[in-house]
């Protein structure tokens, strides 16, 4: 596999892409990540992955670029990264005892060719007590994560079930991305 540019500052994505290749560098997109009016929550991560990848591809047109974005959706609402402690508490209370959807959008670009897709995973939480939520908030873990939890860390203690790709919830659907890359490069 050829050298890749990962258009993401996420340390989790950088860790996960190593399952595909060690031959990559990170160039963070400076693109405007505001969503257009009327875009559905389900379409937003693919749109943002495209925005990030296209911005980096414009400066490196001959390189293979991967952009990604992850959202947590519950009842048609996107739960992004929490603004503060109160926002994190609100999100975790909202997720308590419910099943939510995590969608990671990915975009692969090289030499004017583009392929984009979204991978979805269903995650179910146990009912959470206020004490559990407060203890988790105190770890500092929720503050840079969509939905205010990290499934790979102490947030795993909240998960009663998962349907789909575990790594997708961390921010990169490794198995599918590997297959999409292979197909993209063989076309």
Q: What tens digit of pLDDT does each residue of 41-91 get?
A: 999 999 999 999 999 999 999 999 999 999 999 999 999 899 999 999 999
pLDDT of 32 > 90? The answer is no
- Known catalytic residues? 69
What does the pLDDT read at residue 124? 98
What does the pLDDT read at residue 2? 67
Lowest mean pLDDT among 11-20, 28-37, 120-129, 146-155: 28-37
Q: What average pLDDT is seen over the chain? A: 95
Predicted TM-score (pTM) of this structure: 0.93
Q: Burial-class residue 114 by CB neighbours within 10 Å (0-12, 13-18, 19+).
A: middle
Q: Domains in the chain, ordered, with CATH?
A: 4-186 (3.90.950.10)
Q: What percent of the chain has pLDDT over 70?
A: 99
pLDDT of 187 > 90? The answer is no
Beta bridge partners of 104: 70, 119
First to last CA, the chain: 14
Q: What tens digit of pLDDT does each residue of 15-28 get?
A: 999 999 999 999 99
């Amino acid at each position: 596999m050829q050298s890749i540019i990962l258009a993401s500052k996420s340390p989790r994505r950088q860790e996960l892409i190593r399952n595909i290749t060690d031959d990559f560098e990170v160039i963070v997109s400076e693109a405007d990540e505001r969503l257009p009016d009327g875009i559905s929550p389900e379409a937003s991560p693919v749109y943002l992955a495209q925005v990030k990848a296209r911005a980096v591809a414009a400066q490196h047109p001959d390189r293979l670029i991967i952009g990604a974005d992850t959202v947590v959706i519950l009842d048609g609402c996107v739960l992004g990264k929490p603004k503060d402690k109160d926002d994190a508490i609100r999100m975790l209370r909202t997720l308590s005892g419910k099943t939510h959807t995590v969608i990671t959008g990915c975009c692969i670009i090289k030499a004017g060719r583009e392929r984009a897709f979204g991978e979805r995973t269903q995650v179910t939480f146990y009912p959470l007590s206020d004490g559990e939520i407060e203890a988790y908030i105190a770890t500092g873990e929720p503050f840079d994560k969509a939905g205010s939890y990290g499934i790979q860390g102490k947030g795993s203690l909240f998960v009663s079930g998962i349907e789909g790709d575990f790594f997708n919830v961390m921010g990169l659907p490794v198995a599918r991305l590997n297959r999409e890359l292979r197909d993209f490069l063989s076309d």
